[in-house]
Amino acid sequence: MIKFDFNTYVDVNEQDKESYKQRVEKIKETMYKKEALLDWLDTDTCISNEELKKLKKVASEVRKDADVLIVIGIGGSYLGAKAIYDMFNGYFTNSKPEIIFAGFNMSAEYAHELLEYIKGKSVYVNVVSKSGTTLEPSVALDVILKELKKRYTNEELKKRIIATTDKEKGTLKELANKEGYTTFVVPDNIGGRYSVLSPVGLFPLEVAGISASKLLKGAKQAKKYEDSAIEYAVIRDILYSRGKTIESYTVYEPKLYYFTEWLKQLFAETQGKDGKGIFPVSMVNTRDLHSLGQFIQEGNKMIFESVLVVENTRKLKLEHYKQDLSAINVMISDRVAQAHKNGEVSSLFFKIEKIDEEHVGALVYLFEFAAAMGGYLLDVYPFDQPGVSEYKRLVNESLEVR
């Protein structure tokens, strides 16, 4: 169960929201025609039954034999998987096999340390790129393949390298065909940042023991939250029109940090276009109350917060306080919102009962729906990211290919 509170700490009245009704209905109608990159709207167009079966089979083979699965990808090709993996992984322990991420930076130090770390371990690789041509993952694959070719035969590599990419085009697809690697398909009508519930995210998560079927079930059931997702998109739009140009995704469970990274990408790339959009930032509380909190309480009033609270974490009794630790954490999220409201900063609350696949699948769906709806409300096309190519163009001009 996910609960929403968009009233207690937000000054947006029903009349303001009502004025969006007709526009929202029209947008919804357009979205459900699924003419744009909207196949994530239905779980059966995120992944076919056949692909899901194959994914589970390959994942169970990898689970049996791997110490480490290296997921290579950047942006939408890794953030969703990393976000969900971290939510389920222990703070001080790792899943077996451990999932490691690469291909999201160009750091030679990172590459050296990764090669060092995988020494003596049984390694599998899942390289993810929809276009199959992105620089960072190509470089990471280059580095890792060079190492793995020293250890494993070509036959062995065929089962150890799994490529998730376009069904027919791109350099990665060509390489996979040539070398005989196992492949999964990124559906044509799903863009990177909306792809976590396709083979892009589901394969590595299944390897980590996080159930793909249950995540999909959660997303399917989240249709019931669509009205709340729309209300959230509308309130954001109203706050934006009042000069609130920064949104903080604020969490009280540090495990959700990477989920805020995923949200930042989802909303920034979906809506930051044509000189418009809300800039997403994040806070991990209570840590950041002792740093960014000062700015939020008393600084420039351009911020509002979207707060994610996990209501039922494990209980822990304390010697000096009557409430247990988990209850204090939830209580603090409420008092902070009150304090911030006193400082003219609104907070919108998303309260999830617990971290399990069904809740997380639902959260993913509802934020994807809100991001797309928000993009249409801003009159931008939600599913491209043209601004990303400018740096790529300049880098490509300076890169020398061997």
Give me the residues that bind ligand PA5 (CB under 6 A), please.
74-77, 129-131, 134, 137, 191-193, 269, 385, 388
Of the candidates 33, 119, 178, 290, the residue annotated as catalytic is 290
User: Which listed residue (269, 305, 357, 358) is catalytic?
Assistant: 269
Can you tell me the distance from the alpha carbon of 199 to that of 216, in angstroms, rounded to the nearest whole number? 11
Task: For the CB of residue 292, give the shortest distance to ligand PA5 in the complex, in Å.
Answer: 25
Q: Does the annotation count 174 as an active-site position?
A: no
Q: Specify the pairing of strand 182-185 against strand 123-129.
A: unpaired
CB contact set of 160 (below 8 Å; sequence gap of 6+): 123, 124, 125, 148, 152
Provide the minimum distance between the beta carbon of 40 and ligand PA5 in the complex, in angstroms, as a whole number.
12
The residue among 97 and 192 lying less far from ligand PA5, judged by its C-beta, is 192
244, 296 contact by CB (below 8 A) = no
Residue nearest to ligand PA5 (CB): 192
320 catalytic residue (yes or no): no
Which residue lies nearer to ligand PA5 by CB, 191 or 293? 191
Q: Which of 211, 272, 218, 225 is nearest to 246 (CA)?
A: 272
Q: Please say which residue, 191 or 272, places its beta carbon nearer to ligand PA5.
A: 191
Report the residue number, 131 or 211, with the smaller CB distance to ligand PA5. Answer: 131
Running DSSP on this structure, what letter comes out for residue 319?
S
Helices marked H in 242-387: 257-271, 292-298, 325-342, 357-377
β-bridge mates for residue 162, sequence order: 126, 182
Who contacts 219 (Cβ-Cβ below 8 Å, separation ≥6)?
A: 43, 46, 197, 361, 362, 364, 365
Question: Among 146, 315, 354, 392, which one carries the catalytic annotation?
Answer: 392
Partners of residue 347 on adjacent β-strands: 305
In contact, 73 and 204? CB cutoff 8 Å: no
- The minimum distance between CB 165 and ligand PA5, in angstroms, equals 8
Quick check: 237 and 269 in contact, CB under 8 A? Answer: no
Residue 134 C-beta: closest distance to ligand PA5, Å: 3
Using the minimum distance from each CB to ligand PA5, give the nearer residue, 75 or 280.
75
Quick one: residue 315, left, alpha or beta (phi over 0 = left, psi -120 to 50 = alpha)?
beta
> How many angstroms separate the CA atoms of 269 and 274, rounded?
12
231 catalytic, yes or no?
no
Beta bridge partners of 280: 247
Give min distance, CB of 19 to ligand PA5, in A: 31
The nearer residue to ligand PA5, 112 or 392, going by C-beta atoms, is: 392
| Minimum distance, C-beta of residue 17 to ligand PA5, in the bound complex (Å) | 29
Residue numbers annotated as active site: 269, 290, 392
